[in-house]
Amino acid sequence: MRSHAIGGAAETAKSEPARVEGNAARAWRPDPLAIIGVAGLILLWYLGHAVIGKFMPPPHTVITAGFVHLFDSDYFIGLGLPPGGYLPHLISTTTTVLLGVIIGGLLGTITGLLSARSFVALQIFDPIVSILGTVPILVAAPFFLIWFGLAASTKVVLVGFYTAVVLHIYAYRAIGHVNPTLIEYARTLGASERRAFWRVALPACIPELFGGLRTAFGSAWGLAAIAELLGALKGIGRVIIASWGVFDITIMMAGILWLGIIAMLLDAGIIALRNHLVRWADTKSEV
């Protein structure tokens, strides 16, 4: 009897990956509505060009400029930018966002979870988050620039700081949303309070934490760009402010386009990661 049961389990385990792959294949099929959306946007862009004229360059001009100046550009050197076209700036901004979101996200998640667990931690972190979280980036950025200089770490600190605030709030709220009966059930099965936290409360929070992560990621691009506009050696924000100085709208827009594409790809990566980690949840469209 038992050997039969084990065989049954192995069989189910074997069929599992096939099912997951099936899901992934379905997720990558292009959505006809998305295609219509993109086509509409491009149409609107051409329309904008027809109305506004040369200060709203058409998509093909912007895309061409994006590729022409991608790896190497004398024009960029002429603008006072370091040699190497868009690429080093895209890498700089992307690295800033990734580092800031990862470091800040981890810190914020930890302080949020701590605050949910301990009253002392709540008393310490809550006022910090409430006060500092409401300071607008345009007000905060000059301070960071004075304290940390023009180095790349300044941008990371700035992005990390705001990410930490967002994830702190999400993590704290997520723990509050965990069904208390699940914790009680774990306790009656013999789990210590500590184990119930790590094995029940924390996994129950993951879908909501991903919501926070996506929110933070979305604003992180803007934060990084603003930090670069205010002062940085590298980054897409730096390219935009330099090309703004000579009214080169095409270069500005191509920079934004590149950034948008990278942001979209990373967001798709987060969704894929979420769908994998939260494949046990009932719905996938929650976040």
Q: Any contact of residue 281 with other proteins (CB under 8 A)?
A: yes
CA 90 from centroid of its chain's CA atoms: 15
- Find the binder of other proteins among 59, 203, 211, 222 (CB under 8 A): 203
- Per-residue x/- track, 78-117, other proteins (CB under 8 A): ----------------------------------------
> What part of residues 7-26 is at the interface with other proteins (CB under 8 A)?
8-9, 11-13, 15-16
Judged by beta carbon, residue 6 or residue 33, the one nearer other proteins is 6
> At its nearest, how many Å lie between other proteins and the CB of residue 276?
12
**Distance (Å, whole) CA 102 – CA 90:** 18
**Distance (Å, whole) CA 40 – CA 80:** 36
Q: Any contact of residue 51 with other proteins (CB under 8 A)?
A: no
Instruction: Tell which residue, 105, 109, 111, has the closest CA to residue 126.
Output: 111
**Distance (Å, whole) CA 81 – CA 242:** 8
> At its nearest, how many Å lie between other proteins and the CB of residue 9?
4
Q: Any contact of residue 33 with other proteins (CB under 8 A)?
A: no
The single residue listed with the structure tokens 């709203």 is 56
**Distance (Å, whole) CA 4 – CA 122:** 52
Surface-to-core class of residue 206, CB atoms within 10 Å of its CB (0-12 exposed, 13-18 middle, 19+ buried): middle
Q: Is the dihedral of CA 252, 138, 235, 40 positive or negative?
A: negative
Chain length of the chain? 287
Judged by beta carbon, residue 109 or residue 163, the one nearer other proteins is 109
- Find the binder of other proteins among 2, 28, 30, 80 (CB under 8 A): 2
> At its nearest, how many Å lie between other proteins and the CB of residue 214?
19
Judged by beta carbon, residue 4 or residue 26, the one nearer other proteins is 4
> At its nearest, how many Å lie between other proteins and the CB of residue 10?
9
Judged by beta carbon, residue 141 or residue 205, the one nearer other proteins is 205
Q: Is the dihedral of CA 204, 205, 208, 211 positive or negative?
A: negative
**Distance (Å, whole) CA 211 – CA 206:** 9
- Per-residue x/- track, 173-192, other proteins (CB under 8 A): ------x-xx-xxxxxxxxx
> At its nearest, how many Å lie between other proteins and the CB of residue 192?
7
**Distance (Å, whole) CA 158 – CA 142:** 10
Q: Which residues bind other proteins (CB under 8 A)?
A: 1-2, 4-6, 8-9, 11-13, 15-16, 179, 181-182, 184-192, 195, 199-200, 203-204, 206, 278-282
